């Protein structure tokens, strides 16, 4: 074998994919820190997050108050920790609603096709036309503002997103040989969907879930900022930004730290989503 032949052979060698990417490592590290604060909020906070102390209002960061205090003298670090509860509650609920209803609707529509597919996707298109803020306005007009309504509004917005992703991937999977073999063996449609097709959809769904989690946190912050989310005195990152807006000239700290919490959380989930997309994509192979 000459040198040119060796070069040609080397081009056909496939190297194993690395177990993680820089995006995944950095993103998961950020998420781990934020999740640690979320868990810590149920176990410990430096100060009582609802206790006012006007004598200590608008203090800068110090040893006593690492993030400073707000306009009512409340410890910002304690309120940022407690505020993570609302953000993660909305994130988990919204993604859960989106996956639960969206994957089911997309799977049924793609598997049975015909008029059921057309009808389901038209309903999905209608839902997709209502952004979460407009949906929240409609819901709060009927039942009033609150955290539960925010979960419902953002969750409804996630349904068409997961339904479309599921349907698109489902259509390519249902023609595979292993599905035909399962159908020929007499398995029911429900068993074929749940045991053979949906498990093969896990990769795109997981990747999309990380992205939608980040968007849910942003949407919750926006709704709280508009007064449609969680209500005072309960803290939320978006609500803290709204309350700190009038005091930016006196002290920027009440706005900086909840804003950083939002930015870092969204960045962490977006980086994790990018890393998972690279890691789970079977078409990508890393070279040394």
Say what the pLDDT of residue 116 is: 84
Distance of CA 115 to the CA centre of its chain: 32
Closest CA to 265 of 22, 41, 94, 80: 80
* pLDDT grade for 284, boundaries at 50, 70 and 90: low
Residue 26 has pLDDT above 50, yes or no: yes
Q: Kindly state the percentage of the chain with pLDDT values over 90.
A: 40
Instruction: For residue 21, say if its preceding peptide bond is cis, omega within 30 degrees of 0.
Output: no
Please give the backbone phi and psi of residue 285, each rounded to the nearest 5 degrees, phi first: -130, 130
pLDDT tens-digit readout, 78-113: 999 999 999 999 999 999 999 999 998 988 888 887
* Average pLDDT estimate for 199-204: 82
Please give the backbone phi and psi of residue 200, each rounded to the nearest 5 degrees, phi first: -80, -5
| 275, 20 contact by CB (below 8 A) | yes
* Average pLDDT estimate for 123-146: 78
Q: What is the mean pLDDT of the chain?
A: 84
Domains and their CATH numbers in the chain: 28-280 (1.10.3720.10)
* Average pLDDT estimate for 72-79: 94
* Average pLDDT estimate for 197-204: 81
User: Comparing 4 with 66, which gets the higher pLDDT?
Assistant: 66
State the Cα–Cα distance between residues 41 and 55, nearest whole angstrom. 25
User: Comparing 12 with 237, which gets the higher pLDDT?
Assistant: 237
Q: Model's pTM, two decimal places?
A: 0.83
* pLDDT grade for 139, boundaries at 50, 70 and 90: confident
Per 3-state DSSP, what percentage of the chain is helix, strand, and coil (rounded to 5)?
75, 0, 25
* Average pLDDT estimate for 251-266: 94
Residue 189 has pLDDT above 80, yes or no: no
State the Cα–Cα distance between residues 215 and 262, nearest whole angstrom. 11
Say what the pLDDT of residue 5 is: 45
User: Comparing 105 with 279, which gets the higher pLDDT?
Assistant: 105
Alpha carbon distances (Å) from 287 to 11, 124, 162, 215, 238: 11, 41, 32, 33, 43
Q: Kindly state the percentage of the chain with pLDDT values over 70.
A: 90
Residue 288 has pLDDT above 60, yes or no: no
């Amino acid at each position: 074998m000459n040198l040119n032949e060796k070069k040609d052979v080397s081009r056909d060698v496939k190297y194993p994919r690395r177990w993680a990417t820089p995006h995944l490592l950095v993103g998961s590290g950020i998420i781990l820190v934020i999740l640690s604060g979320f868990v810590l909020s149920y176990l410990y906070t430096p100060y009582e997050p609802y206790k006012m102390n006007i004598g200590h209002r608008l203090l800068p960061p110090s040893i006593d108050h690492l993030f400073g205090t707000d306009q009512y003298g409340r410890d910002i670090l304690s309120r940022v920790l407690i505020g993570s509860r609302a953000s993660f509650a909305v994130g988990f609920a919204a993604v859960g609603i989106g996956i639960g209803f969206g994957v089911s609707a997309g799977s049924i529509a793609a598997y049975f096709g015909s008029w059921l597919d057309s009808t389901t996707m038209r309903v999905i298109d209608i839902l997709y036309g209502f952004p979460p803020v407009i949906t929240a306005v409609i819901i709060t007009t009927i039942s009033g503002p609150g955290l539960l309504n925010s979960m419902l509004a953002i969750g409804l917005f996630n349904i068409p997103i997961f339904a479309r992703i599921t349907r698109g991937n489902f259509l390519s999977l249902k023609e595979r040989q292993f599905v035909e073999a399962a159908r020929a063996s007499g398995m029911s449609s429900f068993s074929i969907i749940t045991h053979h097709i949906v498990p093969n959809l896990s990769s795109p769904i997981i990747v999309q879930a990380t992205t939608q989690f980040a968007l849910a946190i942003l949407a919750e912050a926006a709704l709280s900022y508009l007064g449609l989310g969680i209500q005072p005195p309960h803290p939320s990152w978006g609500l803290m930004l709204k309350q700190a807006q009038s005091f930016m000239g006196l002290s920027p700290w009440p706005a900086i730290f909840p804003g950083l919490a939002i930015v870092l959380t969204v960045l962490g989930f977006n980086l994790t989503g990018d890393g998972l997309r690279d890691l789970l994509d079977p078409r990508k192979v890393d070279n040394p």
